[in-house]
Amino acid sequence: MGHDTSRDRKDEQLEAARVRDDDHLLTTNQGVPVDDDDNTLRAGERGPSLLEDFHFREKLTHFDHERIPERVVHARGAGAYGHFEAYASCGDVTRAHFLAEPGRRTPVFVRFSTVAGSRGSADTVRDVRGFAVKFYTEEGNFDLVGNNMPVFFIQDGAKFPDFVHAVKPEPHNEIPQAASAHDTLWDFVRKQTETTHMMLWVMSDRALPRSYRTMQGFGVHTFRFVDADGTGTFVKFHWKPRLGVHSLVWDEAQRLAGLDPDFNRRDLWEAIESGAFPEWELGVQLVPESREHEFDFDLLDATKLIPEELVPVRPLGRMVLDRNPDDFFAETEQAAFHTAHVVPGIDFSNDPLLQARLFSYLDTQLIRLGGPNFAQLPVNRPLAEVHNNQRDAYHQSSVHVGRTAYTDNALAMGCPAAAGPERGYQHLQAGVDGAKIKRRSPSFADHFTQAALFWRSMSDWEREHIVEAFRFELGKVDSVEIRRDVVAQLAHVDRALAEGVADGLALERPEAVATPEPAPSPALSLDALAGDSGIATMKVAVLAASGVDTGTLSGVVDALTVRGAVCEVVACDAGQLDGDAPGRDKDVVRRAMFTVAAPLYDAVVVPDGDRAVERLADDHVVRGFVAEAYRHGKALGSLGLGVGVLAASGVPEDAPGVVSTRDLGPDEFAARFAAAAARRHWSR
């Protein structure tokens, strides 16, 4: 009897279909199919619910336990996966394997975050931003846990609980959320003058990043590289975004907190989904141990930076983020970073704040993620194989085979065995000598010179924004005594700074005191960091109404899109535009004016068309949109009669950053507008 292959194939197809159907069935956590997910088991249609309904009990119990403790700081974040690629071998300074040869790629997971607010706070608050990178290297995980500012508020970890308690909402009324503009923070600042340098950074626009993609990152502390011979080199880590460094201004940051509280995390997600993968260059400042004491500041002081004029940044490689997480909770929320997660070739300095973090981060993960097995979660799991004798505890998911869980042993042939000095991690053999004391080094005592360095390195518009920020923050402080003390503290940094803040608060100007006069560091100014990426990935609002000249509309959208811009046609209403406009095209997003606002965009263009221009110029919402973009220093462009909308909005045609087609062809207009949109225009 012959074999019926056609029947076999049919049976296989049916089995495959059954498996596929089973994949879509709702089950319990034990894999039992669920017949009804909308009703509890009852004794009759109107009777009491029955305790034996195991599906309902499992579902509700899991829901009741869904929340884990949020991070005390850095609670609100966004994450992404990608890779790091080394430029060249760094064997001259470190034995770290992932930096050993050009082109070597290492997978990474990055988490960006605000610091002070809760998980439900807004992205655009004035705050430091976390910049934490987990390198999944072949030698284990390396966590570079830093911020978007190179310095910190305090010098010693013993003060960290005090600082966080001061900046968090005040305990008597839990106000304000995700904000530093309140009495307890500024009371702490006036009592701890070591905060002065960091407070100038936080009052600058660095505390209001335009996006995570245009934000610098820093390791903050001084670490050590260690080479194959055991020689140590002090190192500071720097991340520099390919798109340049760009910030919001305070007015639009406040507006965005209401318009789109997820502004920064949405930007990161959408950029990666669209294929505009964010990229940063990793660089380091290297200081041989023989030069440790050559500077007029202490390398171990986390409130200080090394000016790039003294120690240039050496590029090591580039990082690209190209994949969004599949599950925010399982990956971004459960990602566990720790400053002590280092690999051979990277070691620590005696920075007292870093030393405190080496304890605190692990302690935090133990309570937040329910025990010591958090490294087994997929986002935290190293690519390197794990072999040790650590067993059991909460959430143990590894199945350990064998009867030994101790070292030394003979029953398992001595395995797992220590790797030895050639392959294992070795701490740098640095000498330690001194009396046990609770006292800071005199080299930590200068709290104002680097604050003055930052202030003197700022452009005029940056200084203006810093003064305005101090006025706003201190204006929210109820205690006049705190305001006076902070202004007096600023007088030790710069007289003009202190007087500008005092004048805005109607306080007496403080007495003149001697102030430091360090040479400016141009590398600290946003003017020097805008980059040359032009309009790439910037979001442009193209205003339109019925009667728009669809030819100029299509032309400007095409020309700017080719240059990398993301164009959105913003119309006066949600109806269709007359004519064949690209507002209907799948590649151009169409928005109604009443659903958006100028802070959501980086630049604005008004196309030609007499009826459309008339409609736009008569609409007070449109005029406010254009005027707000102009006030925030953004580029504005007009084609043909579109200049009338700018004029109706109070925008001078000849102002810096304003481009029209008067005497310009379409291509030249697009090129000039793209150049204008690359940065803000504060001179106007």
Indicate whether 334 and 472 sit together in one domain.
no
Residue among 638, 574, 571 at smallest CA distance from 603:
638
Q: With respect to residue 436, please indicate whether it lies within any of the assigned structural domains.
A: no
Indicate whether 621 and 516 sit together in one domain.
no
The helix/strand/coil state of 146 is: strand
pLDDT digits (tens, 9 = 90+) for 192-237: 999 999 999 999 999 999 999 999 999 999 999 999 999 999 999 9
Q: Considering 483, 501, 528, which residue would you say is the last residue of a domain?
A: 528
Q: At 512, which CATH number?
A: 1.20.1370.20
Q: Specify the long-range contacts of residues 425-428, CB closer than 8 Å, at least 24 apart.
A: 425/342, 425/343, 425/344, 426/226, 426/230, 426/344, 427/347, 428/224, 428/226, 428/230, 428/232, 428/347
CB neighbour burial string for 397-428, b if at least 16 within 10 angstroms, e if fewer: eeeeeeebeeeebeebeeeeeeeeeeeeebee
Indicate whether 565 and 610 sit together in one domain.
yes
Distance in angstroms (rounded) separating the CA atoms of residues 299 and 309: 16
Percent of the chain surpassing pLDDT 90: 80
Distances from the Cα of 466 to the Cαs of 148, 208, 245, 556, in angstroms? 17, 12, 17, 36
Indicate whether 312 and 171 sit together in one domain.
yes
Residue 43 identity (one-letter amino acid): A
pLDDT digits (tens, 9 = 90+) for 230-283: 999 999 999 999 999 999 999 999 999 999 999 999 999 999 999 999 999 999
What the block records as the tokens of 461 is 């518009």
The confidence score (pLDDT) of residue 585 equals 47
57-80 average pLDDT score: 93
Q: With respect to residue 227, please indicate whether it lies within any of the assigned structural domains.
A: yes
pLDDT class of 665 with cuts at 50, 70, 90: confident
Distance in angstroms (rounded) separating the CA atoms of residues 202 and 198: 6
Q: With respect to residue 240, please indicate whether it lies within any of the assigned structural domains.
A: yes
Neighbours of 384 (CB within 10 A): 14
Q: With respect to residue 397, please indicate whether it lies within any of the assigned structural domains.
A: no
Q: What is the DSSP string of 292-356?
A: TT-SSS-TT-TT----TTTSPPEEEEEEEEEE--S-IIIIIIT----TT---TTEEE---HHHHH
Provide Rg for the chain, Cα atoms. Answer: 29
Indicate whether 470 and 547 sit together in one domain.
no
Residue among 247, 245, 193 at smallest CA distance from 466:
247
Active-site residue set: 74, 147
Write down the mean pLDDT value for the chain: 93
Which domain range does residue 606 map to? 539-677
8 A C-beta contact, residue 129 and residue 209:
yes
C-alpha angle 210-201-181 in degrees, rounded to nearest 5: 85
The confidence score (pLDDT) of residue 584 equals 45
Distance in angstroms (rounded) separating the CA atoms of residues 78 and 328: 8
CB neighbour burial string for 157-185, b if at least 16 within 10 angstroms, e if fewer: bebbeebeebbbbeeeeeebebbbebebb
pTM above 0.85, yes or no: yes
pLDDT class of 586 with cuts at 50, 70, 90: very low
Q: At 285, which CATH number?
A: 2.40.180.10
- Cis previous bond, 416, omega within 30: yes
Q: Considering 471, 498, 528, which residue would you say is the last residue of a domain?
A: 528
Indicate whether 152 and 254 sit together in one domain.
yes
Distance in angstroms (rounded) separating the CA atoms of residues 515 and 438: 29
Distance in angstroms (rounded) separating the CA atoms of residues 350 and 343: 18
Q: With respect to residue 651, please indicate whether it lies within any of the assigned structural domains.
A: yes
Q: Considering 324, 357, 376, which residue would you say is the last residue of a domain?
A: 376
Q: With respect to residue 455, please indicate whether it lies within any of the assigned structural domains.
A: no
Indicate whether 117 and 259 sit together in one domain.
yes
Q: With respect to residue 218, please indicate whether it lies within any of the assigned structural domains.
A: yes
pLDDT digits (tens, 9 = 90+) for 327-337: 999 999 999 99
Into how many domains does the chain fold?
A: 4
> What is the CA 258 to chain-centroid distance, rounded?
19
CB neighbours of 203 closer than 8 A, spacing ≥ 6?
A: 126, 466, 469, 470, 473
What the block records as the tokens of 80 is 């992404």
Angular region, 132: left φ>0, alpha ψ -120 to 50, beta rest: beta
